[in-house]
């Protein structure tokens, strides 16, 4: 059984290099008591200073986004090979906050390919804006996002993919507003079914499906009962003790369900 995967998406919540380093050291100190695989996605300028303390503690780094372009004249963009050269091993792709800034399905697909080319594991975010339990429209939204993101994926690359299901309506709130494990379970099953159609059964079963959207220490343990492989955590990942508590909670259910 793989360890649960807990990914910290710091967004722009950490604003200074010294603060990023202090938080990295605190997470590294506490990580020995946590049996989850941890990944921290800080703002890009702080990646380099965090690398050594995290590496010593076995914690991975991720980029919050990557550019579609390779070597070209696109002022300000940061490419997958650039972050890979800093020791990053994951990249969040297609986060709803990036989609809201204009990243379309094709752009998400291109970023998945750019990440894979640079030997990064893309963490591909999918999720509906609103959910009306009476019509099930959210399934079509999720399926379309998965199909376009993973067009022409090779089976050998499929094993490096991570999917993060993040219903947009549940992001940035509190544990009380997150999904319940019961609601989440049927969506995880649906995502797995679509992945099997896209990449074949064996690779699809190896793709971790994470949940994101108001995961906090208070609801992490219960959410793991849905069959997710871990979490993509925003606001509650910024405080080291809170991130570590979520990592611990994620392992408490480890082994009780097939993921
Ligand atoms: P949240 O963010 O945990 O603050 O809801 C999750 C995300 O946007 O990845």
Q: Which two tokens stand for residue 152?
A: 């022409």
Residue 149 alpha carbon to ligand 1 centre in Å: 21
Residue 218 pLDDT exceeds 90:
yes
Q: What is the mean pLDDT of residues 56-84?
A: 94
Q: What does pLDDT average to over the chain?
A: 94
Query: Among residues 95, 109, 138, 235, which one is catalytic?
Result: 95
Report d(CA 204, CA 192) in Å as an integer: 7
* Residue showing tokens 């091993």: 89
Residue 110 pLDDT exceeds 90:
yes
Burial class, 82, CB count within 10 angstroms (exposed 0-12 / middle 13-18 / buried 19+): middle
Residue 164 alpha carbon to ligand 1 centre in Å: 11
Q: What is the mean pLDDT of residues 102-117?
A: 97
Q: Which two tokens stand for residue 213?
A: 């959207």
Residue 171 alpha carbon to ligand 1 centre in Å: 5
Nearest atom of ligand 1 to the alpha carbon of 232 = 9
Contact status, residue 115 vs residue 121, Cβ threshold 8 Å: yes
Which residues share a beta bridge with 161? Answer: none
Is the CB of 167 inside a 6 Å radius of any atom of ligand 1? Answer: no
Residue 80 pLDDT exceeds 80:
yes
Q: What is the mean pLDDT of residues 33-54?
A: 98
Q: What is the mean pLDDT of residues 139-157?
A: 95
Report d(CA 222, CA 243) in Å as an integer: 16
Active site residue 166: yes
pLDDT tier at 38, thresholds 50, 70, 90: very high
More confident position, 218 or 131: 218
Q: Is 195 helix (H, G, I), strand (E, B) or coil?
A: helix
What is the phi-psi region of residue 200: left when phi exceeds 0, alpha when psi lies from -120 to 50, beta otherwise? left
Angle formed at CA 111 by CA 130 and CA 13, multiple of 5 degrees:
65
Query: Among residues 97, 103, 128, 166, which one is catalytic?
Result: 166
Q: What is the mean pLDDT of residues 28-32?
A: 97
Residue 257 pLDDT exceeds 60:
no
Residue 229 pLDDT exceeds 80:
yes
């Amino acid at each position: 059984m793989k360890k649960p995967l807990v990914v910290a998406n710091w967004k722009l919540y950490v604003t200074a290099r010294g603060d990023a380093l202090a938080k990295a050291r605190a997470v590294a100190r506490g990580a020995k008591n946590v049996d989850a695989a941890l990944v921290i996605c800080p703002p890009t300028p702080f990646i380099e200073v965090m690398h050594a303390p995290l590496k010593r503690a076995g914690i991975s780094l991720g980029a919050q986004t990557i550019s579609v372009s390779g070597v070209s004249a696109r002022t300000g963009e940061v490419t997958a090979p650039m972050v890979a050269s800093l020791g990053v091993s994951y990249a969040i792709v297609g986060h709803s906050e990036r989609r809201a800034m204009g990243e379309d399905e094709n752009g998400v697909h291109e970023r998945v390919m750019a990440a894979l080319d640079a030997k990064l594991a893309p963490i591909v975010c999918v999720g509906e804006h609103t959910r009306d339990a009476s019509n099930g429209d959210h399934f079509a939204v999720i399926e379309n996002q998965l199909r376009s993101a993973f067009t022409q994926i090779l089976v050998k690359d499929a094993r490096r993919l991570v999917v993060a299901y993040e219903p947009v309506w549940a992001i940035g709130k509190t544990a009380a507003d997150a999904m319940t494990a019961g609601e989440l379970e049927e969506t995880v099953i649906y995502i797995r079914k679509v992945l099997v159609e896209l990449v074949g059964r064996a690779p699809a079963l190896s793709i971790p499906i994470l949940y994101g959207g108001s995961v906090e220490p208070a609801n992490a343990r219960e959410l793991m009962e849905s069959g997710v492989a871990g979490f993509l955590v925003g606001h509650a990942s910024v405080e080291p003790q809170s991130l570590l508590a979520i990592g611990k909670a994620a392992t408490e259910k480890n082994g009780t369900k097939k993921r």
